[in-house]
Amino acid sequence: MPCTSLPSSPAASAHTSRWQRVCSWAYRNALDATAHCIRVFLAAMLSCTAAWALPPSYTVSQLYHTRWTAHDGVPPGIEAIAQTPDGFLWLGSMAGLFRFDGVMFERFAGAHGTPLLSQDVYALHVSGDGGLWVGYHFGGVSHLLNGQLVNYGPAQGLPRSSVSSLANAGDGTLWAGTTRGMFRLEGARWTQGTTSWNLPQTPVDALVLDRDGTLWMMGDDHIHYLRKGAARFEKLAVTVPGSNYHSLLLQPDGTAMVCMSGRMRTLALTPPDSAGLPAPEWKDLGITTDIDSRHAFDREGHLWFGGAKGAGRLLPAWGAAPVTRSKLRSNDRGTVHDERDAITDRAPLTGESISRIFEDREGNMWFTTRSGLDRFRAPASLRLPSDPGSLEFSLAPAADHSVWIGSSRGNIFRARRATQKRVKFDHLSSAGIDVLYSAPSGTLWAAGADALWRHSSDQDWLHLPRQPGHQPASFTYSSIQAMTQDASGAMWVSVLRTGVYRVMDGQWTLWGGRTDMPSQNATALFTDARGRVWFGYDDGEVTVLDGDHLRRVVVTGGVPLPVARLTEGTGTVEAAAGAVGTFAEGGDHLWMGSENGLWRLDGESFHPVVGAHGPFTGVNGIVPCLEGDLWISSNEGVVHLPADALKRSLASPGQPVEFELLNHLDGLPGIPVAAVGTDDGIWFATVNGVVWIDPLHRPRNTIVPQVMVKAIIADGKTYPVDPGTIPQLPSHTRDLKITFTAPSLTMPERVNFRFRLGDEQAAWQDVGTHREAYFRDLPPGQHQFQVVAANNDGLWSPTGASVAFVIPPTFVQTPWFKALCALAVAAALGLLYLLKIRAIKSRLRLRLEERMVERERIARELHDTLLQATQGLVLRFHAAMEQIPRHERSRALMEDALEYADEVIADGRDAVTNLRGTSDPSMDFAKDLQLIGERWSRDTGIAFAMSMDGPVCPLEPVAVQECLRIIAEAMGNAFRHARATRVNLTLAYSPRGLSLQVSDNGSGFNPDNIHVGRWGLIGMQERAARLTARLHVQSDERGTVLTLDVPARIVYRRGQRRWGHPLAQLRRRHASQD
């Protein structure tokens, strides 16, 4: 018992035992569910395990039938069909060899530059190693294995004749049946099976290998067989007239059989134990089919046949004995078949000429015709035969695992599983049935034509019409929308555009005689287990009548996460829920379905239940199951909410719930508009009929799809994916597309994919059913692409498929280019730096020129004014001195004063000379230093010596001035304070710069202990810092050595510097001082 709803009111005492019996079902259900999980797990581990076969409870017309024609890419004239272990369905036709993954028909023309021998394919065979053997209409065989194609033609011993069949013998040897007899593959050559093999050189129709390793051959109206390990064929003592019209096939137990067309007869093939035994006998199935029918068994032993009148199926019981027209046989699911069923239960195919019937590894049946391809699979829902001409259906539960079905034509049926029986009821044939309701007592109520009809097992239908005058004059049309029975046995009936009536003893009372009832259209009525009557309205308002007290439910939030609360009295109503469609009760929860979602009453509040894609819309039927699952009918289709997913969602309000959606792919003929649960399953009414679902025995696909990457398309060019190779794409690939697939033939529309690009740490991206991945502007390097797939039942492939590819870098993406760019940037920065320095130097030169002009002006002014005036004063004083007698002491004083004045004039002239500059400051620099030293030596009596080392280089004037002042100060200190007897000065010109050294043999001093007020050494250090020069002082009792090292880039003129660096810092400092 898969699922059931709970009683609608406490008055259902008559049915209490029925619901109690469901408790034992829960235990069995748990066991079944556990067993199913184990089956799914094992199927995921062993992909070769077959899925469920097509259930016998479905007639052929109730199976999901899909057709593909030339419009969908099907090749014309299909002659052969086979399936390789990777799941691909291979089709051989006059237009070539094609493979099909359930979505796309893809032509296969060859592999690795080796083409097929022909495009006219006549036979296909899959060997035990997974290789595909291809036979051609005009001779030749090809073998495809692991992407390698090998062709066999006349050069390898095959004749130019049609290859009609291929099969492996018991010892693994491959045999080919042709129109010129049998041929055997030995190594790389084919040899014909002639008299040594006891074979005729006649056309071969079919080959098949049975479970015992016996190879059977049918052709030219005879049957030959080769036992496993034998060296000769043997001939069976039976004839098969017109063998090319009949089928040589395998039964589910692995034994061989011949099935004749026309009047269907079967012949079980078993090698006789000894010669002389009677020939096997034909069994007449009592069925007449088309003269050119084809036949095949499925794994459950159902015999399928197809011909000009379509496809049909016989159950295993047909083979037990000849069947007469009156003989009936039933299977364990309750489906009844007779000869008339077998003849009439046909499904039209894409063409009248059938070439092959084939069952794939997932249990689907395939029919190939001259015009297309047909597939039959088991849908999740079983559609009952509809009432012809009926546009609407209503449902109500009944006893004995059945359900009541009412149609808009006024007919009522009692249905169970796959059968239904019409109930005698013709009172509403003209108006149709609006609503059916099954009371807890088992009484059936039917509503229509403004009236109620009551029926129970012990009485006929009782008519309860609505009295005239109850309908307002402004309404010209009304219909009954919903009804329910309260705890007192009264019926509450909603009449659209009129109001809600309480019907008791045939009396209709509007609003139940109450004045506080809402006046809107009531679209849903329900009585819960506590006897409360719930009213749902078209504007989203909900009220509940508890005894004599009416309460109102007001929706205060909005979609998608509104919350509804129970409130007292009246108030403003917000239509967040939309029109209420249904109520249902399961366990401790009251459920409500509305236009805008699914709701759960928890205590005093309604809480929404939303899916991963938002609220469920148009919920008009709810079926709670005892194990906690919930089934609802909605605008999207049938929604299944598993118990564990519901539990997680209810524990965290607002969290989306995981769900399973069933729609037209599962056999729904339209949008479901109502749902009813019984002990036998769940029933859904749609706009095109009624369907039934068995939740525990739905067909399941246990085959895990095998994923493969088909091709890499880079900027419009396709790069094939071959095992063991890494495709190299063009540099700077902009647009990249990777195509992949996963052959799953049951429901390829629901095969989902996800992929990732990178290592195992990369995140998966869900792409749904799309079979392409797009990338743009990927960086250069090697990339790893991985994709996995899940079949229609959510079984994911454990490893999937992966492919590596390389995008080589362009020149601008290589490390060399980046290094060159870095060098170019550095060079550019260096150039900018040099340009900046040149500009700074130009400004400094301009400033120096301005300074030189100013110095020359000052020198002229000093010469023309101060020096001339001083010289005039000296001459006057000299004239005055001549007037003083020589013996006078004042004359001596005057002479001393005049000598000092001459020295002042000389110093002034030297100053003027310095202001004007010299033509060779380098030569003046050395001479000036020597003059300064000799003057100090003459004044102090201390010996002085000067030496020069290296070629003299032109010097920068600014540097010369700074160096001159530093060395002059150093020599002055040595002559005045060192108490030395000798002072030496050394000038050394070198590529690294100018070095000046002043040394003496005096008493020395401590350079770190400079007396306060003695600033000579400090000033020298500051001047050296301005020059970015190094000043080093070493002093002890043996004397003092002061060394000044000036870098070449500072002291030498441009063109003489060894390192080409300007005097930027020094000139900035001079400029700032100016």
pLDDT digits (tens, 9 = 90+) for 822-873: 999 999 999 999 999 888 878 877 877 787 788 778 877 877 787 778 878 8
Task: Give 474's DSSP letter.
Answer: T
Two structure tokens written together for 380:
């999740």
pLDDT score of 567: 43
Q: Of residues 1017 and 135, which shows the higher confidence score?
A: 135
Q: Half-sphere exposure of residue 234, counting CA atoms within 13 Å on the CB side?
A: 15
Tell me, what's the pLDDT at 13?
Answer: 30
Helical segments of 598-713, H only: 643-651
User: How big is the chain by its Cα radius of gyration, in Å?
Assistant: 55
Q: CA-to-CA distance for 858 and 847, rounded, in angstroms?
A: 16
pLDDT band at residue 385, thresholds of 50, 70 and 90?
confident
Neighbours of 41 (CB within 10 A): 12
Q: Among residues 225, 165, 161, which one has the least CA distance to residue 199?
A: 225
Instruction: Judge contact between 328 and 318, C-beta under 8 A.
Output: no
606-627 mean pLDDT? 89
| pLDDT score for 418 | 66
890-915 mean pLDDT: 76
Q: Nearest CA to 363 among 381, 377, 349? A: 377
- Name the pLDDT band for 914 (thresholds 50, 70, 90): low
pLDDT value of residue 892: 82
Instruction: Please report the pLDDT score of residue 430 as a whole number.
Output: 81
pLDDT at 359: 96
Could you tell me the CA-to-CA distances from 387 to 230, 637, 745, 850 in Å, in that order?
Answer: 61, 22, 33, 116
Which pTM was predicted? 0.74
Q: Which two tokens stand for residue 977?
A: 């304070």
Residue 37: predicted pLDDT: 38
- Residue 664: HSE in the Cβ half-sphere, 13 Å Cα cutoff: 9
Residue 1071 has pLDDT above 50, yes or no: no
State the average pLDDT over residues 525-550: 93
Angle at 406 between CA 403 and CA 407, to 5 degrees: 140
pLDDT tens digits, one per residue of 743-801:
999 999 999 999 999 888 899 999 999 999 999 999 999 999 999 999 999 999 998 99
Q: Are 746 and 51 in contact (CB under 8 A)?
A: yes
CA-wise closest residue to 564 among 599, 590, 598:
599
- Extended strands (E) in 339-407: 354-359, 365-369, 372-377, 381-383, 393-397, 403-407
Contact between 656 and 612 under an 8 Å Cβ cutoff? The reply is: yes
How many of the other CB atoms lie within 10 Å of CB of 469? 7
Partners of 96 in the β-ladder? 93
Do residues 528 and 9 lie in contact, with contact meaning Cβ atoms separated by under 8 Å?
yes
Task: Report the range of poorest mean pLDDT among 13-17, 402-406, 470-474, 977-981.
Answer: 13-17
Kindly report the number of other CB atoms within 10 A of residue 119's CB atom.
17
Residues sharing a CB contact under 8 Å with residue 136, sequence separation 6 or more, in sequence order: 117, 118, 120, 121, 122, 142, 162, 163
Residue 531's region, left for phi above 0, alpha for psi from -120 to 50, else beta, is: left
Report the C-alpha gap between 443 and 421 in whole angstroms. Answer: 18
Q: With H, G, I as helix, E, B as strand and everything else as coil, classify residue 811.
A: helix
How confident is the model over 243-299, as pLDDT tens digits?
Answer: 888 999 999 899 999 999 988 899 999 888 766 667 788 888 888 888 889 999 999
Q: How many CB atoms lie within 10 A of CB 87?
A: 26
The residues that bridge with 396 in the sheet, in sequence order, are 404
Residue-level pLDDT at 48: 42
Which CATH number is correct for 466-662, 2.60.40.10, 2.130.10.10, 3.40.50.300, 1.10.10.10?
A: 2.130.10.10
Q: Is the peptide bond before 560 cis (omega within 30 degrees of 0)?
A: yes
Which of the listed ranges 81-85, 651-655, 971-975, 1063-1067 does the model predict with the highest average pLDDT? 81-85
Q: Record the tokens describing residue 630, joined without a space.
A: 């919930």
The least confident of 103-117, 500-514, 604-618, 817-831 is 604-618
Answer yes or no: are the C-beta atoms of 169 and 215 closer than 8 Å: yes
Residue type, 1051: V
Residue 510: CA count within 13 A, CB half-sphere: 17
Give me the sign of the Cα torsion angle 694, 696, 697, 702. positive
Residues 212/228, Cβ–Cβ less than 8 Å: yes
Give 772's Cβ-side CA count (13 Å radius): 8
Q: What is the predicted pLDDT for the residue at 891?
A: 83
Of the ranges 8-17, 94-103, 1000-1009, which one carries the lowest mean pLDDT score? 8-17
CA angle 420, 423, 427 (to 5 degrees): 140
What are the residues whose beta carbons fall under 8 Å from the beta carbon of 599, sequence distance 6 or more?
A: 564, 577, 591, 592, 593, 606, 607, 608, 609
> What does the pLDDT read at residue 322?
36
- Tokens representing 937? 């030596």
- Strand 121-126 and strand 336-337: pairing? unpaired
DSSP state of 1059: S
The Cα 996–Cα 950 span in angstroms is: 12
pLDDT at 51: 57
Q: From CA 210, how far away is CA 181, in angstroms rounded?
A: 21
728: left (phi over 0), alpha (psi -120 to 50) or beta: beta
Note the CATH number of domain 708-806: 2.60.40.10
How far apart, in whole angstroms, are the C-alpha atoms of residue 154 and residue 140? Answer: 7
User: What local confidence, expressed as pLDDT, does residue 6 receive?
Assistant: 43
| Cα angle value 528/531/532 (rounded, 5°) | 70
277 vs 62, more confident? 62
Which residues lie across from 564 on neighbouring strands?
A: 555, 606
- How large is the angle between the packed helices 957-977 and 1016-1026, nearest 10 degrees? 160
Percent of the chain with pLDDT over 70: 85
The angle at the Cα of 494, spanning 491 to 499, to the nearest 5 degrees, equals 115
Top-confidence residue, 121 or 287: 121
Among the ranges given (166-170, 331-335, 552-556), the one the predictor scored with the smallest mean pLDDT:
331-335
Q: What is the pLDDT of residue 612?
A: 84
Q: How many residues does the chain have?
A: 1074
Q: What H or E segment, with its residue span, contains residue 687?
A: none
For residue 46 the two structure tokens come to 């062993």
Which helix H or strand E contains 145, and what residues bound it?
strand 141-145
Domain 920-1074 indexed as CATH 3.30.565.10: yes
Quote the mean pLDDT of the chain.
Answer: 84
Enter the DSSP assignment of 1052: B
pLDDT tens, 194-240? Answer: 888 999 999 999 999 999 999 999 999 999 999 999 999 999 989 99
Query: Cα–Cα distance between 984 and 933 in angstroms, integer?
Result: 9
Q: What are phi and psi of 909, to 5 degrees?
A: -65, -40
pLDDT of residue 759: 84
β-bridge mates for residue 867, sequence order: none
